Amino acid sequence: MAGRTPLVYFFGLVPGQYAAAWPSFVVADDPSSLTFTIAADEPHTLTGTTSDAAAEPIRRRYATGLQLHRLHQAEFRQRVVRAYHQACAICRLRHDELLDAAHILPDGHPLGEPTVPNGLALCKLHHAAFDRNIVGIRSDLVVEASLDVLHEIDGPMLIHGLQGWHGAPLQVPRPVEDRPNPDFLAERYEVFRRAG
């Protein structure tokens, strides 16, 4: 802390996987409780160009908030994708780079917590389709496509990517505590149904 040494903070996502947050600095030390406080900063502050010292605490508070948000999102993604064994819950696509953790109840909702029961591992296509009410998921874990989509005529992507999953069972984790919360699904399904 006295030397203002930039550090790399390794944030545990799931056992054995970390996200690196840098530069991070020790900004406070409390020996009585054996704890210290870390603040994040922006990488350009390391290049030696003179930075406004007065603006430093404000900039660091902002950077720390952004980093925490980013790390919690990364943690949510890792936990959800791992719970679903790296596969889309709708189409079973197993391509880690193409998988997201979708929120069932959205981020701003009072119950929209970044937890596995409020998450679904979905591929990019099905994540976007779920968020835009093109596909819906019933609380009995059945996938539905919107009426518009079912009546549309187009190429193989529409047929196999969307229409083909209408009525298909959602693939969920075996442990009950990792499965999607049925109340969250029911609430979200209402939004889908009304949008259709």
**Residues making contact with Zn ion (CB under 5 A):** 88, 90-91, 93, 123, 126
Nearer to Zn ion, 71 or 185 (CB): 185
- Tokens 């149904």 correspond to 193
* C-alpha distances in Å from residue 160, one per residue of 126, 136, 178: 12, 16, 28
- By DSSP bridging, strand 17-30 and strand 35-40 are antiparallel
Kind and range of the H or E run holding 21 = strand 17-30
Nearer to Zn ion, 39 or 120 (CB): 120
Nearer to Zn ion, 21 or 170 (CB): 170
CB–CB of 130/122 below 8 Å?
A: yes
Nearer to Zn ion, 88 or 145 (CB): 88
Closest distance between Zn ion and the C-beta of residue 99, in Å? 8
Closest distance between Zn ion and the C-beta of residue 61, in Å? 39
d(CA 81, CA 63): 27
